[in-house]
C-alpha cells in the first residue's frame, strides 16, 4: 500500500486559471465551487465574453451575494445542478470553436459537465477542473451496474442491489465513479470496519 490513500487513477485537479487564447469562456460551478469562481475572477479577466453557470445546491456557505458582486459577466443561477446541466447542453449546441471551459465543484458535477461537452466532441483535457467541497465519491457497483452517490466511507451499501461494496481505488472518468466490489464474496458476512475516510 502506498502512503496515505493516494488514488493512482484519480485525475489531477488543478486550480482554475484563465486561458486567454479563446473566443469565449464558460465557467460552470456548483456548491462550494462558488469559491473557485470567486478566485478565478480575482485574476486579470480575459477580453472575450464570459458566461458563468452556478448552482448553489450543496454549498456549505452562501457564495451567491459575493458572486453577484464580483462576477462582471453573464451570471446564470440555477436552483439545482440538473437545471444547470440542461442549460449547459443548450448552450453547447450554439457554442463555437475556441470556447474555453472551466468547472469547479464535486467530482460528480465536474464529470457531468465534461460528459456533456464530450457529446459535442470536446476532449476531456480541454475542460479545466477544480475539486472543491466534499471528497465524497460516486461508486459503480460492478455486479448490478448501479451508481451510488455521495459515498464518504471505504465500504458502501449499493443503492441498487444492497450488497456491501468495497470501494476500489480505481476511477472511471466516463462514469465519474469508483469501482465497488462485493466485500464479503469470499467470506460471506465478514465485513471489515467501515471508516469515514472521504469527508
Partner 1 sequence: MSLAFKQETFRDDYTFRNSPEAIRRFPFPFPEDQYMYSVNIEPHTAGPKGAVTEFTLDVDEHYVAECRDKAITLEQDPGRCASLPHMMDAEWDFLEFTMESLARDYPEQFSLSKNGKAWTWINRPLGIEQSFVFGDAATLPMGPFEYMGRQVQGDFVLLDQREDTLFADAGIVTSQADWSLAFNVGMSWNEWHGPVPQVTKLGVMDRALKFLMSLQQANPVRRLNWTMTINPRLDTSPENYPLWGGDRNKVNEQNAGELAHLRVELQTLFRMPRSNAIVFSIRCYLISMQEMATYPRWAKRFHRVLRDLHPDLVEYKGITKYQQAVVAWLSRFDDGADIGTGTQPE
Q: Which residues bind partner 1 (CB under 8 A)?
A: 7-11, 123-125, 140, 142-143, 145, 168-175, 179, 181-182, 185-188
Cα–Cα distance for residue pair 135/33, rounded to 1 Å: 13
Residue 149 or 170 having the CB closest to partner 1? 170
In eight-state DSSP terms, residue 175 is: T
Residue 78 or 171 having the CB closest to partner 1? 171
End-to-end CA distance of the chain: 21
Residue 65 or 188 having the CB closest to partner 1? 188
Sign of CA dihedral 147, 149, 152, 156: negative
- Write out the three cell numbers for 155: 465500504
Distance of closest approach, residue 123 Cβ to partner 1, in angstroms: 6
Q: Are 78 and 51 spatial neighbours (Cβ–Cβ below 8 Å)?
A: no
Distance of closest approach, residue 170 Cβ to partner 1, in angstroms: 5
Distance of closest approach, residue 147 Cβ to partner 1, in angstroms: 11
Cα–Cα distance for residue pair 105/133, rounded to 1 Å: 7
At residue 128, the 3 state secondary structure works out as strand
Residue 1 or 93 having the CB closest to partner 1? 1
Cα–Cα distance for residue pair 19/171, rounded to 1 Å: 27
Distance of closest approach, residue 155 Cβ to partner 1, in angstroms: 15
Distance of closest approach, residue 186 Cβ to partner 1, in angstroms: 4
Residue 10 or 39 having the CB closest to partner 1? 10
Amino acid at each position: 500500500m502506498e502512503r496515505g490513500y493516494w488514488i493512482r487513477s484519480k485525475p489531477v485537479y488543478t486550480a482554475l486559471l484563465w486561458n486567454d487564447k479563446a473566443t469565449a469562456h464558460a465557467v460552470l460551478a456548483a456548491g462550494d465551487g462558488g469559491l473557485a469562481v470567486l478566485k478565478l475572477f480575482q485574476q486579470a479577466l480575459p477580453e472575450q465574453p464570459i458566461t458563468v453557470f452556478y448552482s448553489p445546491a450543496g454549498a456549505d456557505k452562501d457564495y451567491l451575494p459575493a458572486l453577484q458582486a464580483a462576477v462582471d459577466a453573464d451570471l446564470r443561477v440555477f436552483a439545482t445542478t440538473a437545471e444547470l446541466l440542461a442549460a449547459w447542453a443548450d448552450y453547447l449546441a450554439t457554442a463555437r470553436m475556441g470556447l474555453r471551459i472551466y468547472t469547479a465543484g464535486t467530482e460528480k458535477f465536474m464529470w457531468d459537465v465534461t460528459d456533456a461537452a464530450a457529446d459535442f466532441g470536446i476532449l476531456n483535457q480541454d475542460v479545466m477542473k477544480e475539486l472543491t467541497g466534499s471528497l465524497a465519491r460516486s461508486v459503480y457497483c460492478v455486479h448490478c451496474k448501479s451508481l451510488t452517490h455521495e459515498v464518504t466511507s471505504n465500504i458502501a451499501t449499493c443503492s441498487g442491489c444492497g450488497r456491501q461494496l468495497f470501494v476500489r481505488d480505481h476511477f472511471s472518468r466516463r462514469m465519474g465513479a469508483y469501482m465497488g466490489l462485493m466485500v464479503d464474496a469470499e467470506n460471506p458476512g465478514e465485513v471489515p470496519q467501515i471508516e469515514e475516510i472521504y469527508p
